[in-house]
Structure 1
Amino acid sequence: MSDYEPLLRRLIDAVTAVGSLRTDPWKKAAEAVPRHEFLRTGFFRAVPHTSPTAWAPVLQDQDGWLSACYADESLVTQIAGTIRPANIHGEIMREPTSSSTLPSLVLRMLEDLLVEPDMNVLEIGTGTGYSTAVLCARLGDDHVSSIEYDEGVAQQARDALSRLGTFPTLLTGDGLAGHEHGAPYDRIIATCAVHTVPATWLEQTQPGGHILTTIGGWLNASELVRLTVHEDGTASGPVLSGQVSFMLARPHLPPPIGLLPDLSAGNEREALIGADVLTDWTSRFVAQFAAPQAQHMQLRQGEQDEDVLIDAMTGSWAALYEENGRWIVRQGGPQPPWDAIEDHLGRWHAAGTPTVQKAAVRVTAQSQSIHWGHA
């Protein structure tokens, strides 16, 4: 028995116990894929008690590398867009840009994709290639296409898949554009978050097919959604889970805010809903559908703290502060963001603040919206 096999068996048992693996076909597929093969170039481990977070490399020849490969946790594989574990001696304080997602989430998403034999699947975000390999073990190489934005990441995945004798259609490019030449697909699955669901995904999924993706926004809340594409080219479907977090697709990262507008100008009124709602994940997720381009920051203005929302695309903004137990909002620009947020959150509150699992998302080529009840 190989050194990794007991670790893989333990991982499969663990993700089955928590309900991520639910069916025998996916269990067999997961059992056929050694995760460590996709982490041979190492990973980064967060250094405890550092702020901002520092990252230290863990390489293949170090103690604990193999067991960590089979832990149910996400492992960062790239920092700052180009830096790999072998490039660092010591620690680095930059943002992660690629990772191997925790297996329980990967396998749960594959279960949630609702695939059947002979279906064709497009994966957006090859990453290390681990999820690609599980898809191939389930469906066969000829039914899987995967596209990766980063050329270096794509090459590492290609190398790992080749070592296992797995040869799906691997592409390098902007996954938001999909892959028209392989369309239509029965399923599209994204291993990165999107700010808005691309119209190309709707076009490249055949009617009745599913798109499984995490929708996230610039207020830093995201959820997993399974959309069914309709004959008219729109799509709708349920929110599947609470607080699933993926890195945003790089083209969907927020733009620089630039120069702040004059926050002393604008129209002021008492707010119906205070900025304290932005501390709640679900409230932020709902608010993002109302103000999808808004970014949140906290500023000290004179003697008071203000929560500020900036839409760098339109120049609209809102500043909120608390005074004598009341929230005051001051807004400017063509599309006052807090008006829209209050409307969305007000309707959510009127519905009894249901959990996101009772929500549905509707997507067209031009917009996306959230609803409670049937999509």
Structure 2
Amino acid sequence: MKRRNFLKWSGIGAVVALAGGLTARGAMAANSYYSGPVSDHFDGTHFFNPGGEEPRGTLDLLRWKFGNGNIPWPDTFASPFPQAVPETRVTGNRLVVTMVGHASLLIQVAGVNILTDPVWSERASPVSFAGPKRVNPPGIRIGDLPPIDIVLVTHNHYDHMDLETLWVLEGRDKPHFITPLGNDAIIRSKVPDAKITVMDWGGSETVAPGVVFHCEPCHHWSARGLGDRRKALWAAFVFETPAGKVYHVGDTGFHEGVNYRAAGSKHGPFRLANLPFGAYEPRWFMKAQHQDPQEAVEGMQLCGASFVAGHHWGTVKLTDEGIDQPVEALFAALDSRGIARERFRPMRAGEVFDVPA
């Protein structure tokens, strides 16, 4: 893929953003991404988690980054699976998930090809020369993708919204982009002619016969610069399909299971949930924004998911834990609850999961 620097950032700005503690609270009084009515999760300028927590600020960021809890990753972490060449379409009662890396998944169901938070760039960063670098290549070469119908962007952090990749996909397939409030403005800065459906929590959109996307709450936050903290919405999504329901969570803190219970009550049970279970240490800093493996397993049970495709681990180093620790902790959590390990798969790049009916 042709690399372009789509934003001009200072080195220190990139470090601050990637650390997850953007520091210029209120640097921009207005919201340049979204203008809409006040709601239970929007105060007229900023989005927020009802009854939840804001991400931590500058002093805590420095305390974390200058602490001694970091476990280094290897430069490479090869997947045991070769790069996949997916089927063109999956129909009938089949539901197939192929791991690209981190939170990028190809979901094929009911004849529809869906990409979640697609990132093919080498770094999850606003610049090409610094920031978290992938330790394995994408599990699918971008040229081997089937025609993409839907691109789902759950929020605007750099490990989930890669404008370069979105630009390439637009030129390749002209897909239908679905994203929460405010993120359309960011996408259009790079992909001005994109077809975008913008959704608030509680919204829904029919994308194909029998295939409906529902936008639901998760506990997270957003920012791409020093002045746009929480000015675009974050969300989880439910895909209602003839082959069953899929619950997709790109990033979330556990939030005492509030959102899992709500999703299960409103939409469950689910044939499949795509749940993050990595990037969680240290807990005192990350708890509000990233769940750990034990919480992910509890979330699986609370929402009523038969199977889980586990993601958000083993591709780019964002936090302190070692590269294998999420899987070790996941298996321990499953074993302690008597859940078969096959039901919650820690997906590796190139892995293909043909989800049981």
* Alignment TM-score, normalising by the size of structure 1: 0.34
Q: Which structure has more RCO (C-alpha within 8 Å, separation ≥ 6)?
A: 2
* Alignment TM-score, normalising by the size of structure 2: 0.35
Whichever structure has more strand as a proportion of its residues is 1
**Higher Cα radius of gyration:** 1
Whichever structure has more helix as a proportion of its residues is 1
